[in-house]
Amino acid sequence: MTICSSILDRVGHTPILALDGLLPAGSATLFVKLEGCNPAGSIKDRPALNMIERAEAAGLLKPGGTVVESTSGNLGVALAMACAVKGYRCVIVMDPRTNATNVAMVRALGGETDIVTEMNPADGTYQEARIARARHLAETIPGAYMPFQYSNPWNAEAHLDSTALEIHDAFDGGPDALVASVSTAGQITGIGTGLRHLGAKTRIVGVDVKGSVVFGGQKGKTAVTGMGLAWKPDNLDEAVVDDAYLVETAPCFTAARIIGKRFGVLLGGSSGASLFTAMHVAMQLGPDRTVLAIAADRGEKYLDEFYSDAWMRERDFPVDDDCDRLLAEARTLEVFRHPKAEIVEKRVAA
């Protein structure tokens, strides 16, 4: 048994689960990396800790300081955990749509929540108001530091020598394909860059939900927590992304529900998005290949949401959890963009 002096010592080294029997014969072997096993419950533990420690080293965050950030959920919980251990005040700016459990977890860890109520009427989101409020607080609170995860290079950096290395070593050089959902793009850029540096030939597949514009597309409302941006984040390095997919909301929830009932693991909706797309990739690649999906967080926070049949019915989402239907949908999924190919074409044309 390992004894640690700080819960922060347990960030990283998350398990990988083989999803045997989920896909039809002739598919690649599908695996999922369970980032919900990080101590605060999500992949965001990694960048939260890295952004704080890098800020400390750079003199941007000093003893007695305050960490201020705008986030819809997991990063706020991770920052609150790190601040509790390190002794910083933590103020997380959220909005009325933030999952109630995330709000409660931030507060339970000693963090403060600042809830904005001003919605952008153009797209029905609170992102702009949240960020503006967080910036105001960071400018007016003495000794405050705002990581601003969307543009912070320490976000993606957190995955270079941890997540990417863990994946590389687990698959003896990397899986044939890796699928990750995007929002701030820290994880896909960091993992993809890290695997490239390690010499892996892994195909990097990004997944966004319809209504988000990380990879382009039409801006609109999104319902998958941890996904959905009205702009392209500075953290996104499209040169490491081979294929990008846009998925509907319903299969994200169905995939997560099926994994819970068949493998005993509760995952979040963004994990469902990466798994749904990974099913498609695995069926395309064929046997003797490996596909790894990144599951960003656990699903307990969503028991009153998409794990609830009543909640799903109210929103006209299916509750049959029919795996054959989901696989049929996954099989017909089409690539939205080939970002890397487009970058190469532009360079050749130049």
* Pick from 198, 188, 189: nearest CA to 165: 198
pLDDT at 350 over 70: no
CA neighbours within 13 Å on the CB side: how many for 12?
17
pTM: 0.95
DSSP state of 287: T
Q: Which of 68-72, 138-142, 220-224, 286-290 has the lowest mean pLDDT?
A: 220-224
Residue 73: predicted pLDDT: 82
Q: Of these residues, 33, 44, 301, 340, which one is catalytic?
A: 44
The average confidence (pLDDT) of the chain is 94
The CATH code that applies to domain 7-37+157-342 is: 3.40.50.1100
Residue 91: predicted pLDDT: 98
Residue 345: predicted pLDDT: 65
Surface-to-core class of residue 248, CB atoms within 10 Å of its CB (0-12 exposed, 13-18 middle, 19+ buried): middle
* Pick from 308, 335, 334, 330: nearest CA to 319: 308
Write the pLDDT tens digit of every residue in 88-147: 999 999 998 888 999 999 999 999 999 998 877 666 678 888 999 999 999 999 999 999
Range with the largest mean pLDDT of 110-119, 243-252, 341-350: 243-252
Q: Are 80 and 92 in contact (CB under 8 A)?
A: yes
Q: Are 99 and 89 in contact (CB under 8 A)?
A: no
pLDDT at 219 over 90: no
Q: Which residues contact 87 (CB under 8 A, 6 or more apart)?
A: 63
- The domain locations on the chain are 7-37+157-342, 45-153
Report CA 286 to chain centroid distance, whole Å: 26
* Pick from 8, 29, 32, 5: nearest CA to 274: 32
pLDDT band of 310, cuts 50, 70, 90: very high
Query: Which SS3 state, helix, strand or coil, does residue 92 take?
Result: strand
- Give helix 45-57 / helix 74-86 axis angle, nearest 10°: 50
Instruction: Specify whether 44 is catalytic.
Output: yes
SS (H, E, C) 158-182: CCCCCHHHHHHHHCCCCCCEEEEEC
Of residues 120 and 229, the one with the higher pLDDT is: 229
Tell me the backbone φ, ψ of residue 34, rounded to 5 degrees. Answer: -90, 85
Helices marked H in the chain — which ranges?
A: 45-57, 74-86, 100-108, 127-140, 153-157, 163-170, 186-197, 249-263, 269-285, 309-314, 323-331, 339-349
Q: Which of 27-36, 74-83, 144-153, 339-348 has the lowest mean pLDDT?
A: 339-348
DSSP code string of 106-147: HHHTT-EEEE----BTTTTB-HHHHHHHHHHHHHHSTTEE--
Residue 343: predicted pLDDT: 77
Tokens representing 85 are 């251990």
Tell how strand 290-295 and strand 29-34 pair up: parallel
Q: Matching CATH topology for 7-37+157-342 and 45-153?
A: yes
Average pLDDT over residues 312-316: 97
Give dist(CA 130, CA 116) in Å, integer. Answer: 6
Give dist(CA 180, CA 161) in Å, integer. Answer: 17
Q: Is 311 left (phi over 0), alpha (psi -120 to 50) or beta?
A: alpha
Give dist(CA 147, CA 131) in Å, integer. Answer: 11
Q: Are 76 and 141 in contact (CB under 8 A)?
A: no
pLDDT band of 259, cuts 50, 70, 90: very high
pLDDT band of 220, cuts 50, 70, 90: confident
Give dist(CA 76, CA 99) in Å, integer. Answer: 11
Tell me the backbone φ, ψ of residue 62, rounded to 5 degrees. Answer: -120, 165
From the candidate CATH numbers 3.90.1150.10, 3.40.50.1100, 3.30.70.1520, 3.40.50.300, the one assigned to the domain spanning 45-153: 3.40.50.1100
